[in-house]
């Protein structure tokens, strides 16, 4: 990806538009897998959303993903971004009657670390839709640092 999907500093102190309970009304992930903690922006015209995940010392990955120096696994970052894409997918006519499941990932790059205490800001933009399949550009930051970016493919499930 060439440009940032958003200015992360602009969203650092924004209040939630949708909390985790509202998110769970639209996407099925629960318990330890309910990783999308809030939505700060949902722009239906641009088909874009910005969400957050607050990394906590009690998260399931902390104990085992590098004991003594916990680092959020890349697959967890991917799942958080995929859940934001699934949120966007629930508003698309192409996925009516189902939810947007994870169909694939392209061009994933991990550029920084996420540790307990960090707030991960995630942006997703719908770049293509066709017959129950959508492609999303995603990026995530901790503070001003871009830590992850990828294209995520969602499929109607």
CA–centroid distance for 5 within its chain: 13
Rounded CA gap, 9 and 132, in Å? 34
Q: How far is CA 86 from the centre of its chain?
A: 9
Rounded distance between C-alpha atoms, residue 107 and residue 150, angstroms = 5
Residues designated catalytic: 65
121 in Cβ contact with 141 (< 8 Å): yes
């Amino acid at each position: 990806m060439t440009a940032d999907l958003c200015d992360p500093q602009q969203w650092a102190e924004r209040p939630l538009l949708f909390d985790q309970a509202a998110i769970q009304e639209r996407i099925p992930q629960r318990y330890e897998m309910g990783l999308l903690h809030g939505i700060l922006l949902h722009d239906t015209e641009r088909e874009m959303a910005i969400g957050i995940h607050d990394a906590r010392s009690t998260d399931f990955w902390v104990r085992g993903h590098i004991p003594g120096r916990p680092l959020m696994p890349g697959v967890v970052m991917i799942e958080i971004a995929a859940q934001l894409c699934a949120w966007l997918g629930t508003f698309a006519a192409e996925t009516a009657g189902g939810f947007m499941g994870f169909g694939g990932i392209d061009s994933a790059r991990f550029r920084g670390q996420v540790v307990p205490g960090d707030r991960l800001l995630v942006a997703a933009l719908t770049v293509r839709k066709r017959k129950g399949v959508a492609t999303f550009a995603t990026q995530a930051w901790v503070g001003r640092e871009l830590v992850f970016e990828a294209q995520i493919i969602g499929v109607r499930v």
